[in-house]
């Protein structure tokens, strides 16, 4: 269910983005008659895709333990970009439509990189025997859960993983599938601390 929702969200967003991009290109090329015809024909599809994107987005946010800054920015920009795009394409205002497309592309980048700077900052935690636990709580609990068995997005039970420490390190630094890599955020020492912490999970 959670994976399906995520695929649905990304698909709806990408289709919407392509449609809006296409219509904006028509507008910029002064093909306004064609634009109006297409707008008329795709009204219902646009509305369904828009509702799907927003509804699945809200559902995915409810899965998050905390709403990070990048997510608030994403939500805010979406709320600005959608009306801009609608008004721009309807009233044939090129700057508005272009601004809307640019905002949406930026929002897409934020979603993909989970950062409004397109690059996540290194995690700062005090060196202590609790560092591994702290990092795990901050970065990993969302999908793997306090006990390592939560299984969000089909993540495997960490307490029964058959991976070696080396393979785990690689998985954490480089990610796989839905799990992103943490090489920009974690030092080698921090990754070792998290793996040590995972090995203490009952
Ligand atoms: C967005 C959800 C998500 C987050 C956040 C996340 N993971 Fe994962 N993790 C996954 C998924 C999904 C997989 C399975 C990837 C695959 O094999 O396709 C996985 C796999 C793993 C594996 C490999 C386990 C195995 O036996 O194959 C390890 C180790 C792991 N994660 C550790 C971590 C650590 C440590 C963190 C925090 C620094 C973390 N994960 C954050 C979703 C997540």
Q: Tally Cβ neighbours within 10 Å of residue 32.
A: 13
Output the CA 76–ligand 1 centroid distance in Å. 29
Give nearest CA residue, ligand 1 atom 12.
155
Give nearest CA residue, ligand 1 atom 29.
168
pLDDT digits (tens, 9 = 90+) for 104-130: 999 999 998 999 999 999 999 988 889
Query: Counting atoms of ligand 1 from 1, which one is nearest the CA of 186?
Result: 38
pLDDT score at 34: 96
pLDDT digits (tens, 9 = 90+) for 45-99: 999 999 999 999 999 999 998 899 999 999 999 999 999 999 999 999 999 999 9
The answer to whether 16 and 49 are in contact (CB under 8 A) is yes
């Amino acid at each position: 269910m959670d994976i399906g929702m995520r695929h649905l969200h990304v698909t709806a967003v990408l289709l919407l983005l392509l449609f809006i991009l296409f219509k904006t290109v028509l507008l910029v090329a002064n093909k306004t008659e064609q634009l109006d015809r297409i707008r008329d024909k795709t009204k219902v599809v646009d509305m369904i895709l828009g509702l799907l994107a927003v509804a699945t987005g809200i559902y995915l946010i409810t899965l998050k333990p905390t709403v990070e800054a990048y997510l608030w920015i994403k939500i805010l920009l979406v709320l600005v970009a959608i009306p801009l795009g609608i008004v721009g394409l309807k009233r044939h205002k090129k700057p508005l439509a272009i601004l809307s497309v640019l905002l949406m592309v930026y929002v897409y980048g934020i979603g993909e990189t989970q950062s409004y700077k397109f690059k996540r900052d290194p995690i700062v935690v005090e060196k202590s025997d609790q560092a591994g636990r702290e990092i795990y709580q901050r970065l990993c609990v969302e999908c793997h859960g306090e006990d390592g068995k939560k299984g969000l997005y089909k993540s495997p039970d960490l307490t029964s993983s058959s991976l070696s420490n080396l393979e785990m390190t690689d998985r954490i630094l480089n990610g796989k599938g839905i799990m992103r890599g943490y090489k920009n955020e974690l030092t080698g020492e921090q990754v070792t601390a998290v793996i040590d912490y995972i090995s203490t999970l009952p």
